[in-house]
Amino acid sequence: MPKRQYSFYPGCSSQKGASASNYLTSVEAMCDELDVELNEIPDWNCCSASIGYCGGGELPRLALSARNIALSEEHNRGQDIVATCAACWLATRETKERLEEDDDLMRETNQALAEAGLVLENTTRIRHMVEVLIEDIGYEEMGRHVKKPLEGMKIAGYVGCQTNRPFGIEGESFENPMYLDKLTETLGAESVKDYDRKVSCCGGALAFSEPEKSQALIKEIIEAAYDGGADMIVTPCPVCQMNVEIYQDEINAKYGTRFDMPVAYYSTLMAVAYGKTPKQAGLDGHVIRAKKLEKIAGKG
């Protein structure tokens, strides 16, 4: 069967040496197994990630995502754009929709793009990797590739904000989307039922600028996972992953908790279940080691 082709927008946090570089590693391993080919958008730029608004007005921010879509339409013609980062997906899809609805903004955006020698047609679908997995591949097919079921693991599916709102995944509710649960079960693990911080906010970019307020939110996300008996948390978002994983020491120091909860991407779980090496699964990128997963990955 020929590989499924997508135009890929990796985003800044996935770059080599950046905070979600291990996400990209595991996505590559997962896609290799599922015969998915990701064709990187040549010379893509930052989407401004819901935070550039101090200096960046509406039109300059729209132009950023428009440039990526235009590059994709020029170089990866006819392919859907796929993003792995929730903020990248959201910014790009919002741009597409805003420009569809507003002819004046569309005209002005193309005026700006012309300065870079680009033209936006705006006919490209913008999708999150999770949509590709669920809609184009399906749970059954994903399950067929499992070589090392994640038996004995209990996992809390933390969906967070931006993969869930405002667009979300088709057929799922905003309050209790089930896809991460279904996915972990497909891989042979148990999911935490009624994980009550499943869709609550980790503070997003404000984890940097309002650390104390954000860490109070993060604490509840981790606590609820422990309450549900979880061995680890899984998430589809690089901001969620980073915020929930790396501040645990600071939270412990401040609140006297003893958190030591690994936080992985869905793609990490999939890569391990598909029999990839710990390195291919990006397990060496964890600040809090996912020991149970390492053990499964290390089995011959």
CB 128 within 8 A of CB 75: no
Give the nearer residue to other proteins in terms of CB position, either 59 or 229.
59
Residue window 104-143: x/- pattern of binding to other proteins, with contact defined by CB under 8 A: x---xx-xxxxxxxx-------------------------
Q: Strand 81-83 relative to strand 4-9: parallel, antiparallel, unpaired? A: parallel
* Span of 49-57, 133-141, 190-198, 260-268 interacting with other proteins by CB under 8 A: 49-57
Q: Which residues contact 173 (CB under 8 A, 6 or more apart)?
A: none
Applying CB under 8 A, does 263 fall inside the site for other proteins? no
Residue 166 in contact with other proteins, rule: CB under 8 A? yes
| Distance between CA atoms of residues 49 and 222, nearest Å | 24
CB 263 within 8 A of CB 233: yes
Interacting residue with other proteins among 157, 177, 204, 278 (CB under 8 A)? 204
Q: How far is the CB of 210 from other proteins (least distance, A)?
A: 6
Q: How far is the CB of 57 from other proteins (least distance, A)?
A: 5
Cβ proximity to other proteins, 107 vs 295, nearer residue: 107
Q: How far is the CB of 201 from other proteins (least distance, A)?
A: 4
Q: Pull the structure tokens for residue 233.
A: 């948390």
**Nearer CB in complex with other proteins: 84/214:** 214
203 binds other proteins (CB under 8 A): yes
Check if the beta carbon of residue 41 is closer than 8 Å to that of residue 81.
yes
Question: Binding to other proteins by residue 162, rule CB under 8 A?
Answer: yes
Q: DSSP string covering 231-294, please?
A: SEEEES-HHHHHHHHHTHHHHHHHH-------EEEHHHHHHHHTT--TTTTTGGG-SS--HHHH
Decide if residue 13 touches other proteins (CB under 8 A): yes
Q: Does position 50 bind other proteins by CB under 8 A?
A: yes
Kindly report each contact of residues 42-45 with a partner whose C-beta sits within 8 Å and lies 24 or more positions away, as own/partner: 42/71, 42/75, 43/71, 44/9, 44/10, 44/68, 44/71
Closest to 271 (Cα-Cα) out of 2, 68, 31: 31
CA–CA dist 149, 156 (Å, integer): 17
Binds other proteins (CB under 8 A): choice among 37, 135, 151, 250: 250
Nearer to other proteins by Cβ, of 157 and 160: the residue is 160
Residue (85 or 189) nearer to other proteins, CB: 85
| Burial bucket for residue 52 (CB in 10 Å: 0-12, 13-18, 19+) | middle
Applying CB under 8 A, the residues found at the interface with other proteins are: 12-13, 15-22, 43-46, 48-60, 62-64, 67, 104, 108-109, 111-118, 161-162, 164-166, 174, 200-201, 203-206, 208-210, 213-214, 217, 246-247, 249-250, 284-287
